[in-house]
Amino acid sequence: MHKPKLIVILGPTASGKSDLAVAIARFIAHQKLATGAEVISADSRQVYTGLDIGSGKITQKEMRAIPHHLLNVASPKRTFTVTQYQRLAKKAIRTITKENRIPILCGGTGLYIDAITHNYILPAVPPQPLLRKELELQSTEMLFAQLEQLDPHRARTIDRHNRRRLIRALEIVLITHSPVPELKASSPYDLLTIGITRTQEEIASLIEKRLHKRIKAGMLIEVERLHANGLSWKRLDDLGLEYRWVSRFLRGLISKELLLEKILLESIQYAKRQMTWFKRDKTIHWITSEAEALQLVKNFLTQ
């Protein structure tokens, strides 16, 4: 059976995925390799409305007239699940493909990407109130240690400070008695997966530059506004990274200096976890330049 073509752009945080996806979409249209191309975001925080600066959401100007999907599709007050993401992303792929355009899946949330490219999702385990109550009694460190024992792979890729995610991961593994599914060899798509590779020094430098840019752009005001609009401090804490530490700074729990230090350090750790996740997939073409990526795309669409 003829599989629809899908291009995937992935890589660690701050590596330049969004810019590359736009460049590829414009290249496809310019070279007439298809009717055109559209980008589908694979980012677990960019799905939420109002999480713009802190999540690094692409702006209208940066999109350069390339249509983008799965941005601002959920309220940050409620958790958006992998299942919901999979349903919406598949629908977007069908719509784009129907118009003889190429879908480009772009992002750094490994679980979202795998849910599409390998057609799997975490088992649909409904919330377990009694188990949750039990797990809530444990410290964050204890929750992480338990997950490390039960599902070492998930432990290597999870935010070890995010209680909500740790509890959910434990809930799934304790109910299903199985860890995160391994990648399947087959995919419902004809795939070209491009990974952006950077040295650890480059990533650290890019993250630091980006952090100062976001502070200047009004990230603190954004978090203040989200709280004023009804987002609890606990929920902001759960949204992780920038949102966690800015919310703590706004509550007077940490200094500005510690805020910057924590975001920088945790973002670097997050980039390492992303790479651990991506390295499971041996089909990724790792590139260091846009020219390499464009050549791969041309070969893929003309073969």
CB-CB contact of 18 with 58 (8 Å)? yes
What DSSP character marks residue 229?
Answer: T
Q: 225-239: per-residue pLDDT in tens?
A: 999 999 999 999 989
Matching residue, tokens 């603190």:
220
Q: Check residue 184 and give its pLDDT.
A: 67
Give the start-to-end residue ranges of the domains of the chain. 5-122+190-198+283-302, 129-176, 201-273
Query: For residue 8, which phi and psi values (nearest 5 degrees)?
Result: -120, 130
For 7-34, what is the mean pLDDT? 97
The torsion angle over the Cα atoms of residues 39, 42, 46 and 48, rounded to 10 degrees, is: 110
**Taking 70 as the threshold, does the pLDDT of residue 146 lie above it?**
yes
Mean pLDDT of the chain: 94
Q: What are the E-state strand segments in 18-77?
A: 36-41, 68-69
* Length in residues, the chain: 303
**Residue 124 — pLDDT band, cuts 50, 70, 90?**
confident
Q: Say which amino acid occupies 210.
A: R
Q: Check residue 122 and give its pLDDT.
A: 65
CB-CB contact of 200 with 290 (8 Å)? no
Q: Check residue 79 and give its pLDDT.
A: 86
**Taking 90 as the threshold, does the pLDDT of residue 153 lie above it?**
no
Q: Check residue 119 and give its pLDDT.
A: 84
HSE toward the beta carbon, residue 83, CA cutoff 13 A: 6
For 142-155, what is the mean pLDDT? 92
If you classify domain 201-273 with CATH, what class do you get? mainly alpha
Query: For residue 91, which phi and psi values (nearest 5 degrees)?
Result: -65, -45
Q: Check residue 186 and give its pLDDT.
A: 78
Cβ contacts of 223 within 8 Å, gap of 6 or more: 54, 236, 242, 243, 246, 247, 250
What SS3 state is found at 5?
strand
Q: 53-82: per-residue pLDDT in tens?
A: 999 999 999 999 999 999 999 999 998 988
Identical fold between 5-122+190-198+283-302 and 201-273:
no
What SS3 state is found at 142?
helix
Q: Check residue 204 and give its pLDDT.
A: 97
Pick among 3.40.50.300, 3.40.50.720, 3.40.50.1950, 3.10.50.30: CATH of 5-122+190-198+283-302: 3.40.50.300
For 163-177, what is the mean pLDDT? 89
Q: Check residue 185 and give its pLDDT.
A: 63
Q: Check residue 121 and give its pLDDT.
A: 65
For 17-21, what is the mean pLDDT? 98
Percentage of the chain modeled with pLDDT above 70: 97
